[in-house]
Structure 1
């Protein structure tokens, strides 16, 4: 997901490697202070670009920090549809090896990115017996909602997902900006209104599915666990997407942390993007997505 670009006449914020930055104030945040604050939340969402190894290393480091402060924890993953939950439970309990886990979780069919990017996080959960949560829904549901809307989907075919709160105008503008960034010679810069509405409904189905998965776990869990969400940053930035849907479900005590490899930021565009941003080491080249027999989450 592209980050805000520098715009003419706006203030530029320098961002040193290995430091956290407040998007609101532009000031550096001490890591130990930030982690203590995050450990008191109900939900902490860690945004990602799926194919960048350095981002997944960062997610692991933050998860380990927070686990040391708040051992009662679960980690939710966008990568797994909820029907895979029994496989995640068995993995955490040590009932299968890595190859079997990847096969039974249908990794190649459902996700397709290099599993080596994610395996350190999966092994951390297994070693520490941290519950792993399958946050996604059945892929055909996303397609159907995009095509015909929620009202036309029978309740028993919604995969446990409730209808999404209506998209704000801010979210619509945000998604329009993303789509314009993907435009190319053979793709128009602006979608037709009906097609754009279908895209928003599909995107919101994912947003709501992740939020429902987190909310459902918190409702049934004993005690007061912290839930970490491993989710694409396009579902998290500027309070849209999953944070917005979580608040609609009554979960307000949440935070969004994001990575960056940029040495400077446009201060105005950065405001509201998340609670804190960490500057990574220079990432290695993106890992190519592996062809899958059939993508079907």
Structure 2
């Protein structure tokens, strides 16, 4: 016979939501539109989360047309690139190349495209919040103390380690990574602290110059939930009013302390892009084919290992970013002309145009 606690389920806790109190985005905006810093979390590869972020940006812009958008996924040294994009000086492709987007973030840019296009159409400034990966990669390898002096000048002077719940949540995340026993948790935490303190410091710098301003901050849910990532670290620096909006997939994820509001939306997926089916050596220019994926369309029609890709469709190729841009709006099954340069030891080099069916 089961013990009494098990039989009656006395240890179970339920989260109850009053369905009569559910609201749409318009009602949400009525409650948060006058907050100065609105944090909207995301799972980076969830398109519906980014559409929710766009809806909040649109609602804020109606009330505060002088608002700005803070971005986790652009690093601070590339602020001039964002400025040139919003001003119309450069187009989307140049934005992606000059910001090194595909090397520094890598997620499908189409996920963020509606936000960027809305910002450009309305002249909404985009603020690069994150520290550059040159800093965080050194911290990941050897901790904050290992960062070289010139880069260390760019990190926040004040880094708060006092939030024990923050540390415990990071420990749980760390254990989910492959082979945690081979990694250093303190270094992992240093990276998280640099991200959160760095983004908070950059946002605070903007608010010091715009004390009555409004910023919608877009970042991964882990940097926002419970307030212990960016939000509390921003409020430690400047006296701003805030709201935390969480994007969640299921009700089982919810806890009252996570934030102020939660948005739940049905999945909304982008169509897959067409792929050449090649691995690339990107250390030199033009990029070189170093191998093929299974069932590669390129290998099937005669592209060879060692070929250098010069052109895909109408796009000239000099870098990995150029390849990603060339294929960004393609579909599996489409055919595209690929120009490669092939070199023989004695005969020299020649260019070949090969029609490849994308997979």
Report TM bin, short chain: 0.7 to 0.9
Structure 1 position 284 matched with structure 2 position 269: yes
**Which whole-Å deviations, capped at 9, do the CAs of 1:112-150 have from their partners, x for residues lacking one?**
111111111111111110110011112121233442435
The equivalent position to 1:60 in structure 2, one of 47, 54, 66, is 54
**Structure 1 residues 155, 249: closer, same or farther in 2, change over 3 A?**
farther
Give the Cα separation in 2 of the matches to 1:143 and 1:163.
20
Give the Cα separation in 1 of the matches to 2:146 and 2:92.
40
Give the Cα separation in 2 of the matches to 1:85 and 1:152.
22
Deviation at residue 155 of structure 1 after TM alignment: 7.1
The equivalent position to 1:172 in structure 2, one of 163, 167, 173, is 167
The residue matched to 1:9 in structure 2 has which SS?
Answer: coil
Give the Cα separation in 2 of the matches to 1:103 and 1:97.
10
Give the Cα separation in 1 of the matches to 2:202 and 2:101.
19
1:1-297 equivalences under 5 Å are 9-13=12-16, 27-29=21-23, 31-146=25-140, 147-149=142-144, 154=149, 157-159=152-154, 161-183=156-178, 187-188=179-180, 191=181, 195-221=184-210, 224-262=212-250, 264-265=251-252, 270-284=255-269
Aligned residues: 269
Give the Cα separation in 2 of the matches to 1:166 and 1:251.
20
Query: Residue 208 of structure 2 contacts residue 238 of structure 2 at CA under 8 Å; is this kept in 1?
Result: no
The residue matched to 2:258 in structure 1 has which SS?
Answer: coil
**Which whole-Å deviations, capped at 9, do the CAs of 1:149-198 have from their partners, x for residues lacking one?**
35976476332533321141101111122223345xxx25xx58x81111
Structure 1, 207-216 or 153-162: larger mean CA deviation:
153-162
Query: Residue 136 of structure 2 contacts residue 194 of structure 2 at CA under 8 Å; is this kept in 1?
Result: yes
Deviation at residue 71 of structure 1 after TM alignment: 1.5
Give the Cα separation in 2 of the matches to 1:98 and 1:236.
28
The residue matched to 1:13 in structure 2 has which SS?
Answer: coil
- The alignment yields a C-alpha RMSD, in angstroms, of 3.0
Deviation at residue 10 of structure 1 after TM alignment: 1.1
- Which residue pairs with 1:4 in the alignment? none
Deviation at residue 82 of structure 1 after TM alignment: 0.9
The residue matched to 1:241 in structure 2 has which SS?
Answer: coil
Give the Cα separation in 1 of the matches to 2:66 and 2:39.
16
Deviation at residue 283 of structure 1 after TM alignment: 3.6
5+ residue gaps, structure 2, are 1-9, 284-319, 321-359
Deviation at residue 37 of structure 1 after TM alignment: 2.7
Give the Cα separation in 2 of the matches to 1:69 and 1:61.
13
Deviation at residue 199 of structure 1 after TM alignment: 0.8
Give the Cα separation in 2 of the matches to 1:228 and 1:79.
14
**Structure 1 residues 127, 138: closer, same or farther in 2, change over 3 A?**
same
Deviation at residue 214 of structure 1 after TM alignment: 0.7
**Structure 1 residues 169, 287: closer, same or farther in 2, change over 3 A?**
farther
Deviation at residue 236 of structure 1 after TM alignment: 1.0
Please, what TM-score do these two structures have when normalized by structure 1? 0.80
5+ residue gaps, structure 1, are 1-6, 20-26
Deviation at residue 250 of structure 1 after TM alignment: 2.8
Q: Which structure has the greater CA radius of gyration?
A: 2
Give the Cα separation in 1 of the matches to 2:175 and 2:271.
22
Give the Cα separation in 1 of the matches to 2:26 and 2:145.
43
